[in-house]
Chains A and B, each alone.
Chain A
């Protein structure tokens, strides 16, 4: 297990380096530098500024400086938010995204697994059809269609909840965004759980458990649940990525001051360094999440030995 962990951790390095390098080069392909603003600075000042930020060095040396500052945990500076370092901006935005995204994943895991189990136990029942329908809806109604529809119904029509905005982690403002993400996630989790539960329930050891007279409850919870959860664990990685994607949309729809909003605003303002820093940060988060999921998978499934 330790050597597997070690190798798996090492394997993330090329991915991270590749993403950072490609993004960095893309950034340097674009014309214009950080100091070509409306106000011209004199040549001497420009030279000093460039020397301070190492912009006078060849590209590969600048790149090495960039990697070095990344390793020290410094994401760089924003072009537009003058008095803010990138780390300050991220420090304010990340908790918002984490609260929404993390809350949504935890809730949707519980609901999705429960729905999947019930659907598998009562095939062709109403709940089963509901789970299948959810899968269909999730495929055809993307988050940026469902989000506004939720707002239309619950904020404008019924006036139960605010249509958007953020008030220091007040629950009222978190309900709709989390509900939207949960809705999208349980369509995947429910379908996967249903499929794997049906498969596990058809296997020999379940028949043995039935034959020795165990109640269905015990069979499902003690014997079938753990192996049936394995495929669910394996979709958490892709789900985390799609949650980040969906977060960009949810935060735009509901006007939340999270990472997604920051990146979209940065893109709209052509704030290159901000977008680059955020992409690097989110890539690190996703790669680490994927790594954890892989390790959890190896830990949970005794059949996997690398």
Chain B
């Protein structure tokens, strides 16, 4: 009796060892496979990468600069003839190069403000979730308050008062973009903190830092990645709105919002000046949204 039980246990152990020999599939590997199966998301990723590369390298390769006037070609429509492929604006500046330079600013503001607001959101949310109690409720009240504020107006006030420096624009956008991340990270931290495997790790004496880095951080990463991709289009949009209102970077430097505003002023005579930057911005936002959707579908463990 005793022996047969022991035999069964050994067999079970062997089986589980055999199972372990099968290569494990991590969440990230699964997610990658699922993401690349999503054609819309992959296409968006390629398009966005192309736009980014064009913005970085295009101005270096093209024969025109963003601020020099071509006196022979002022306000001309898109043409293949003299390399003004997107035409020129009323001051004779090449629109393609201006769109790409503007893209650099828009994407760079997008990247910097996203990094800053994601970092702030994670630290804020994770601290609130870990510390808990009164500190938690105070920190979350501040987040609630930030939501109730008409952020664009305060952003306008900040830019008016503090100036239109590139980094101040980034700071202004960051201040109003971190709350979603903080909320989500706090919720997730609270949920993970009370999970059985964290309790089990505590019980077998794993140290707190090790629990944080081995168990909590990896489980936060998925949701952080998802909300980061949600933050990117929002941040780019805010920068464009500010520039559109004439509160972003200053001439002759430009960004997509500035270009769209320039174009809106002359759209009856030369619609291409509006349509090219507007198209670039919309395609970028569209791609960013699709990549976000794709990542959400790929990383959501509920969806297995």
Contact = CB atoms under 8 A, between A and B. Distances in A.
Interface of B is mostly: helix
B278 interface: yes
A286 B271 contact: no
Given A149-B278, A252-B245, A267-B159, A139 B149 contact: no
A29 interface: yes
Give the interface residue-count category, chain A: 35 or more
A267 B247 contact: yes
A144 B160 contact: no
A279 B161 CA distance: 13
Interface string B150-174: 1111101111111000000000000
A298 interface: no
Contact of A26 (B148, B149, B162): B162
A15 interface: yes
B158 A26 contact: yes
A141 B261 contact: no
A141 B264 CA distance: 15
B237 to A, nearest CB: 6
Interface in A262-306: 263-264, 266-268, 270, 272, 275-276, 278-279, 282-283, 286-287, 290
Nearest to B234: A139
B153 A279 contact: yes
B298 interface: no
A278 B153 contact: yes
Contacts of A270: 160
Given A144-B241, A148-B278, A287-B148, A244 B257 contact: no
A201 interface: no
A22 B154 CA distance: 10
B117 interface: no
A133 B151 CA distance: 27
A248 B153 contact: yes
B101 interface: no
A9 interface: no
A123 interface: no
Contacts of A263: 153, 156
Interface string B103-143: 00000000000000000000000000000000000000100
A218 interface: no
26 contacts: A18-B145, A26-B157, A26-B161, A29-B161, A29-B162, A140-B285, A140-B289, A141-B285, A144-B261, A149-B278, A244-B150, A244-B152, A245-B151, A248-B241, A249-B244, A249-B245, A252-B244, A253-B264, A264-B245, A266-B160, A267-B160, A268-B247, A279-B150, A282-B150, A283-B150, A286-B150
Given A136-B286, A144-B241, A267-B156, 13 more contacts: A26-B158, A139-B286, A144-B264, A148-B263, A152-B268, A156-B267, A156-B268, A241-B150, A248-B245, A249-B241, A252-B244, A252-B245, A275-B156
**CB-CB nearest 9 A-B residue pairs:** A140-B286, A148-B264, A267-B160, A245-B152, A145-B278, A140-B285, A15-B145, A144-B244, A279-B153
